Amino acid sequence: MELPRLGVVVVTMGNRPREVDELLASVAEQDAPPARIVIVGNGSPLPDFPGLPGELTVIENEENLGCPGGRNTGIARLREFGDIDVVVELDDDGLLVQEDVFRRIGDLFAADPKVGIVGFRIADEHGETARRHIPRLRAKDPMRRGPVTAFLGGGHAFAMPMLNRIGDWPAEFFFTHEETDLAWRALDDGWKILYEPELLLRHPKTSPARHAVYYRMTARNRVWLARRRLPALLVPVYLGVWILLTLARTRSKAGLKAWTAGFVEGVRAPCGRRRPMRWRTVFRMARLGRPPVI
């Protein structure tokens, strides 16, 4: 069985030089080295990165394009080479703690051509996986592998043929929910999303609310996601559920104010092309345990 050729994309803003060096060292230690590595500086200059396996490309974007926009830059460069079958994307403050991650990824994609996305398990420095990092509802066991409807942005792998069919990241989202948009498009096109907990990315324990734009973009992008991808009947259901959850969970008045402004922005601002998923995709997601209203 011929294994696919892997390309790696790492996007960084230049503010984590030590973490990036450690991540790239863990990439270099893989027993199945990638064919190509692309490092994207998102609005920042980058140093040289000697000693890495495969062909190395360093790109410096003039401005910060957000996580999805930066990753699209790396994917575009890999696509130009024309010889990459699988794209592996890793957070710049992540770390591969096992040396067989890329070999396992190659085996998974080679075994099933309908696998479009493979999601990693993310654990903190104490080995714990946060509940929000388990891509299932009512999930207590982070070691349960299998088909899911979502994946983790910090560590994952894409089949390049899937990206060529459904398109890349929604760059206009900039931050938050870009993974859901891509996952829903993949499922609607018939691809499988596999959660494989044996693929471990160590990542420091953080809260997404540490970003100043978190509340506004979370609300805006949820509205955009519903407007772009959901059948019309499900749009008010989805948004209604998240309004109630937000009101129940948010303890910060400033955060709630920013969230409300983002929600209004999501309703008023153009969200891009509307292409709702088919109802059979809705039912497929429901069978997998997560209908697209939660």
Average pLDDT score over residue span 6-29: 96
| pLDDT, tens digit (0-9, with 9 covering 90-100), for 37-67 | 999 999 999 998 988 888 999 999 999 999 9
Instruction: Note whether 242 and 287 are within 8 A (CB).
Output: no
Question: How would you classify the pairing of strands 95-96 and 55-61?
Answer: unpaired
DSSP-derived 3-state class of residue 47: coil
* Residue of 87, 85, 100 lying closest to 157 (CA atoms): 87
Rounded to 5°, angle at Cα 171 from 165 and 175: 125
| pLDDT, tens digit (0-9, with 9 covering 90-100), for 157-207 | 999 999 999 999 999 999 999 999 999 999 999 999 999 999 999 999 876
Instruction: Note whether 178 and 202 are within 8 A (CB).
Output: no
Instruction: Note whether 78 and 36 are within 8 A (CB).
Output: yes
| pLDDT, tens digit (0-9, with 9 covering 90-100), for 228-282 | 999 999 999 999 999 999 999 988 899 899 999 999 999 999 999 999 999 999 9
Cα–Cα distance between 245 and 137 in angstroms, integer? 14
Gyration radius (Cα) of the chain, Å? 19
